[in-house]
Structure 1
């Protein structure tokens, strides 16, 4: 295909990528190959953004590295953040009664960590090894609840467990509590408690409407069950090779793993992938 034809096609493409396990490698970094491919994609007229469970402080370094100018989806769809205006354009908060919140916080221990996200900060009853690992992984700092007692309006609650089974057990406990919420796994041992009708997919639809790009061909790439909603909203849903089996089943196709520069591979094969989906 001629360069001019390819450019015209890229001008109408929105590429949306998850961060951890997708765009980021095992060292939680963006490879040179991915960075180069994304910047070239943007230079040629394509739109690129990220949809992640992370908060602002844990995402801004990657936004700056890739020079992303359009809004990004944060907190698994709870917020849409504009890097140019440095402001929140959209937010759906989680309401939790005081009694219910205390029940959830009481689960915090050596095998389970409870993190409360509120006003771009993270609070936890006390720091255990799960909290410390999370801080190091995402480059954030969790504050003690002794510093602030949160109200009933939160951004989200994250449950980190030592095993998937323990996280599932907490999910079952929350289902029995007096709380209106949606829950999703962002990693096998990470359970996220969100406001009802919140997901990356819903936020992506809101974002496309905000930017008035409903007609753009949208490609979404991810690795975990919290990316399934992206697959459903996108024109083309792609799972990385290391993805959860549930996501692979929901995706239109599977590419290489995050350790093999998956985003660069998708961009390089963009034309072929779009044609393959069209013939299905």
Structure 2
């Protein structure tokens, strides 16, 4: 009997324009999970950030965070699977960012605690907005200089700025097989985000691992942006919300209602109720 894993992106897909999961979507998904649906989300966000915007959604499901760098059990914070850099790979990221004058947000474990480090005097509008949306985040660690910025066991780098500033960094790491690097415009905003992570840290690889953990035979996924393409490629079925970019729509199994219209939850409700086919 087929055992299906359902995976959704968050921003622009499950989340509405207010960066929240609607009450309808929460109620629908939680009811389906209680009745046996194997469901998770895969996001570039951390667990802390994702937990805030998905408040009310079941925490009994392992989730994929930091674009696949971690699979985490939300109810306990236990890391079930992780991908990381070597010391040599971390050093190269630091050198390339310094060469191009980029001051990133650095995600790392410092003395065993997850931290997001940045240099306040190098903030731009995009970084200030990122910080303002995550006030009182216990991970935040403002530092005075580059030595402190790159302390700890670094596992993820986010650079926010103009596309022309970030493109040279993207070009370096996109062509290096030891890394996975993405660049895209921030949703509803003018600035771009360039994110650098270990090569094996991807939504697709994390989904494969979770699929194996749960003994699933099929994957159905939902997304809106170009960084969801690898997730779509490894899915048996993949659905783009109507607000998705054209590149994703072109490879999707089908187009569903938008994030503002609870597209993911309505599709799941239609597919899995009342008979529960696909569970």
Equivalent residues in 2 for 1:149-164 (5 A)?
A: 149-151=149-151, 153-162=153-162, 164=163
Counterpart position of 2:76: 85
Q: Report the Cα distance in structure 2 between the residues aligned to 1:186 and 1:267, rounded to whole angstroms.
A: 28
Question: Aligned in 2, Cα 1:205/1:161: closer, same or farther, shift over 3 Å?
Answer: same
* DSSP-derived class of the 2:141 partner: strand
Question: Aligned in 2, Cα 1:179/1:19: closer, same or farther, shift over 3 Å?
Answer: same
Q: Which segment drifts farther, 26-35 or 187-196?
A: 187-196
Q: Which segment drifts farther, 92-101 or 190-199?
A: 92-101
Q: Give the Å deviation of 1:36.
A: 1.6
Corresponding residue to 1:194 among 197, 207, 212? 197
Q: Give the Å deviation of 1:226.
A: 1.5
Q: Give deviations 1:196-247, integer Å, cap 9, x for gaps.
A: 1321011000111122x232x3211111122111112221111111112222
Please state if 1:114 is matched with 2:91. Answer: no
Are 1:53 and 1:186, in contact at CA under 8 Å, matched by a contact in 2?
A: no
* DSSP-derived class of the 1:53 partner: coil
Give the structure-1-normalised TM-score. Answer: 0.80
Corresponding residue to 1:61 among 52, 74, 98? 52
Q: Report the Cα distance in structure 2 between the residues aligned to 1:50 and 1:90, rounded to whole angstroms.
A: 15
Counterpart position of 1:257: 258
Q: Report the Cα distance in structure 2 between the residues aligned to 1:271 and 1:71, rounded to whole angstroms.
A: 21
Counterpart position of 1:39: 30
* DSSP-derived class of the 2:133 partner: helix
Counterpart position of 1:130: 126
Q: Give the Å deviation of 1:101.
A: 0.1
Counterpart position of 2:189: none
Corresponding residue to 1:214 among 201, 213, 216? 216
Q: Give the Å deviation of 1:268.
A: 2.7
Question: Aligned in 2, Cα 1:210/1:105: closer, same or farther, shift over 3 Å?
Answer: farther
Question: Aligned in 2, Cα 1:55/1:158: closer, same or farther, shift over 3 Å?
Answer: same
Counterpart position of 2:228: 227
Q: What is the count of residue pairs matched by the alignment? A: 256
Q: Which segment drifts farther, 39-48 or 166-175?
A: 166-175
Higher-RCO chain (CA-CA 8 Å, sequence separation at least 6): 2
Structure 1: give runs of 5+ residues left out of the alignment. Answer: 1-7, 273-280
Q: Report the Cα distance in structure 2 between the residues aligned to 1:219 and 1:249, rounded to whole angstroms.
A: 16
Are 2:71 and 2:82, in contact at CA under 8 Å, matched by a contact in 1?
A: yes
* DSSP-derived class of the 1:122 partner: strand
Give the structure-2-normalised TM-score. Answer: 0.80
Q: Give the Å deviation of 1:103.
A: 3.5
Q: Give the Å deviation of 1:20.
A: 0.7
Are 1:161 and 1:190, in contact at CA under 8 Å, matched by a contact in 2?
A: yes
Q: Give the Å deviation of 1:54.
A: 0.4
Are 1:49 and 1:68, in contact at CA under 8 Å, matched by a contact in 2?
A: no
Q: Report the Cα distance in structure 2 between the residues aligned to 1:19 and 1:76, rounded to whole angstroms.
A: 11
